[in-house]
Amino acid sequence: MSLQTELQAADPGRIEAAGVSKAFTTGRGTVLALDNVSLKVAEGEFLCLVGPSGCGKSTLLNLIAGLDFPSSGRILAAGQPVTGPGRDRMVMFQEHALFPWLDVIGNVLFGLKLKPGLTPAERREVAAYYLSLVGLEKFHHANIHELSGGMKQRVALARALAPNPRVLLMDEPFAALDALTREQLYGDIQKIWQARRKTIVFVTHNVREAVCLGDRVVLFSPNPGRIRAEFQIPLPRPRDINSVELARHATEITAELKGIQSAGEVSE
Partner 1 sequence: MIRTISSLVFFLILLGSWELASRSGAWSPMVLPPPSQVAEYLWQGLSDGSLGEATLVTMKRLLLGYGLGVLAGVPLGLLTARFRVLQDTLGLLALGIQTLPSVCWVPLALLWFGQSEAAMLFVVVMGTLWSVLIATSDGVRALPPIYLRAARTMGSNGLHSWIYVILPASLPYLVGGMKQGWAFAWRSLMAAEIFVTILTGFGLGQLLQYGRELLAMDQVVGVMTVIVVIGLLADRLLFSPWERFFHKRWGTGSVG
Pick 196 or 208: Cβ nearer partner 1: 196
Closest contact distance (angstroms) between CB of 99 and partner 1 is 6
Residues 129 and 108: their CA atoms lie apart, in Å, by 10
Pick 86 or 225: Cβ nearer partner 1: 86
Closest contact distance (angstroms) between CB of 80 and partner 1 is 17
Q: Are strands 167-171 and 89-92 parallel, antiparallel or unpaired?
A: parallel
Closest contact distance (angstroms) between CB of 87 and partner 1 is 6
What is the contact surface with partner 1 in residues (CB under 8 A)? 65-67, 84-87, 89-91, 93, 95, 97, 99-103, 110-111, 114-115, 143-146, 159, 163
Residue 239 φ/ψ, nearest 5 degrees? -100, 145
Pick 89 or 249: Cβ nearer partner 1: 89
3-state helix, strand, coil in the chain (%, to 5): 40, 25, 35
Pick 86 or 214: Cβ nearer partner 1: 86
Closest contact distance (angstroms) between CB of 116 and partner 1 is 10
Residues in the chain: 268
Pick 101 or 244: Cβ nearer partner 1: 101
Residues 6+ apart with CB under 8 A from 112: 118, 123, 126, 127, 162, 163
Closest contact distance (angstroms) between CB of 243 and partner 1 is 34
Cβ neighbour number for residue 23 with a 10 Å cutoff: 14
